[in-house]
Amino acid sequence: MSPTDPLAPVETPDDSVLLEARGIRKSFGDNEVLRSIDLEVRRGEVVVLIGPSGSGKTTVLRSLNGLETPDGGTVSIAGGPSLDFSKPISKSERYALRDRSAMVFQQHNLFPHMTVLQNVIEGPLRVQKVPREQAVAEASALLERVGLAEKRDAYPFELSGGQQQRVGIVRALALKPQLLLFDEPTSALDPELVGEVLQVIKELADEGWTMVVVTHELGFARHAADEVMFMDGGVVVERGAPKELFSNPREPRTKRFLERILRPLD
């Protein structure tokens, strides 16, 4: 990859820790969805969270982006301030957290009243105050890379689900985050559209982007992940390299989950 490649991450990967989360706890009413989650991601690493629905994977992701406020625990991203959630979080701390990461949603959440290009440049233009020309040039390059150059003036409703999600990814990349967060990016897609989206994410992983991915696509986890975390009932039941975890799960809960996914009819 050339250094000017638009999909290349902002910073050259080294081995330092990019994201460190300790003891993340969260309850919704009486429902304790996260019971002390630890997560450490090094630069360039891909961590995949798997687990049954309701296991808390999405809540972990949303906590890293400040969309949920945990009840306790600490998060620090890219040498930013270490946020202690047992105390109230200030606005600027929350923005600092969001500044360093970008989120791709299950339902893409593109802005329906804006064209593809407008969707992508909205953040750089309005929030990061990038000059329009530069924002447009960078957005165009990114769209080109994911094969959507000719769709830049289309509205989201004119795109297929897979194209919409690729725009969602480009919108996140345009913010030049240090960390990419994917919340079940292919779960809402028709099966035949899953591949094109996973392909883009895989390319980003290969190019050294640091990412945390919540997904049910075990094939993706196997090929792209450096570490897989299996969550259930608000705790990390087991973590490890994908090969190990998939072929030799130590915990019975992991075993049962994998069997259910891999052989649903047995």
Partner 1 sequence: MPDWQLVLDSFWPLLLGGLTGTIPLALASFALGLVIALGMALMRISKNRVLNGIARFYISAIRGTPLLVQLFVIFYGMPSVGITIDPWPSAIIAFSLNVGGYAAEVIRAAILSVPKGQWEAGYTIGMSPGTTLRRLILPQAARVSVPPLSNTFISLVKDTSLASTILVTEMFRVAQEIAAFSQKFLLIYMEAALIYWIFCFVLSGAQNLVEKRLDRYVAH
d(CA 221, CA 213): 9
Least Cβ distance, residue 16 to partner 1 (angstroms): 24
d(CA 2, CA 34): 41
73: tokens are 């625990």
Q: How many residues bind partner 1 (CB under 8 A)?
A: 28
CB-wise, 171 or 253, nearer to partner 1?
Answer: 171
Least Cβ distance, residue 111 to partner 1 (angstroms): 6
Q: Does 95 bind partner 1 (CB under 8 A)?
A: yes
Cite the beta strand spans of 119-208 per DSSP E. Answer: 179-183
d(CA 60, CA 67): 10
CB-wise, 87 or 113, nearer to partner 1?
Answer: 113
* Residues 97-156 interacting with partner 1 (rule: CB under 8 A): 98-99, 102-103, 105, 107, 109-114, 122-123, 126-128, 155-156
20: tokens are 């460190």
CB-wise, 67 or 235, nearer to partner 1?
Answer: 67
d(CA 124, CA 169): 14
Least Cβ distance, residue 86 to partner 1 (angstroms): 22
Least Cβ distance, residue 183 to partner 1 (angstroms): 10
**Residue 191, class by beta-carbon neighbours within 10 Å (0-12 exposed, 13-18 middle, 19+ buried)?**
exposed
Least Cβ distance, residue 218 to partner 1 (angstroms): 26
Least Cβ distance, residue 96 to partner 1 (angstroms): 10
Backbone region of residue 41 per phi and psi (left: phi > 0; alpha: psi in -120 to 50; beta: other values): beta
CB-wise, 102 or 214, nearer to partner 1?
Answer: 102
CB-wise, 21 or 103, nearer to partner 1?
Answer: 103
Interface characters, 51-90, with partner 1 (x: CB under 8 A): --------------xxx-----------------------
Cite the beta strand spans of the chain per DSSP E. Answer: 17-28, 31-42, 46-50, 72-77, 83-84, 101-104, 179-183, 210-214, 227-232, 235-240
Interface characters, 163-192, with partner 1 (x: CB under 8 A): --------xx--x-----------------
Least Cβ distance, residue 232 to partner 1 (angstroms): 25
Residue 118 near residue 111 (C-beta atoms within 8 A): yes
- Phi, psi (5° rounding) for residue 249? -60, 135
What residues line the site for partner 1 (CB under 8 A)? Answer: 65-67, 95, 98-99, 102-103, 105, 107, 109-114, 122-123, 126-128, 155-158, 171-172, 175
